[in-house]
Structure 1
Amino acid sequence: MKLSTQTLFDFAAVFTPKLDVASVPTGPGMYEALDRNFDHFKGHLLVSCYDFSEPWGSWERHPAGDEIVILLSGRVEFVVRGQEGDESVWLGQAGGYLVIPQGVWHTAKTSEPSRLLFMTPGEGTEHAQNPQLL
């Protein structure tokens, strides 16, 4: 057995349905490659890490399961859209995390450098640019 280390900024980790882990290079086209190479992400979990310094440009939701978002540094406001309207939750302490329920539209806002770790059930993920249409 030969072990090697990588960073989640260069390679996302994909847990397969058998709980094996595959490393996938991050960058343009990564999500299309994940769909193509991992059966449209059925039963898979994506572990990834991203830096942000401004609000996300879109909303998203994950119909296959709950998403866990862990704050590593910075301060981020998550906005989730429920039947009764939008609700904001702040992550402001390293190690703080939020569970975004299955199928709930969400986005994030920050104005400072922030680093987040995501555990995402990727199958069927949807994106929307205009939240008024949701």
Structure 2
Amino acid sequence: MEDAGQSILHASCVALDALNGVLILGPSGAGKSTLALQLMAYGAYLVADDRVALRTDGPDVVASAPESISGLIEARGVGILRAQSLRSARIRLVVDLSRDETERLPPKRETNLLDRFLPLVLRVQHGHLDLAVLQWLKGGRHA
């Protein structure tokens, strides 16, 4: 479902609070829920897993969960788990697990969601993506 100011994506979303969320994109099996669970282990809250409803609010993109899956996250091989969740969060960062980062110090990347440009991070292969995303949400990126 998509119109000028709304969309539902196959994605996951977690947030430190209602103002600092990360949208995690990628194909099935790419690790969206795994990254979400890792961030939740460090204190982030679930916004949505598997399907994320997006809408615009002024300059921002706001994520929420469809009612039927609110507060639920899949842990592959374990089952569907209940999680402490936020009703919605403003997206401050997008992670795309379908593309690998090849640069040690990559340029600032952006992606377009609902005609809003948001910072983009690609999958890194060094085992610290969860920590880097968490710190990005806390402090942003320098240069």
Report the TM-score when normalising by structure 2: 0.28
Please identify which structure carries the higher helix content.
Answer: 2
Q: Which of the two has higher C-alpha Rg?
A: 1
Report the TM-score when normalising by structure 1: 0.29
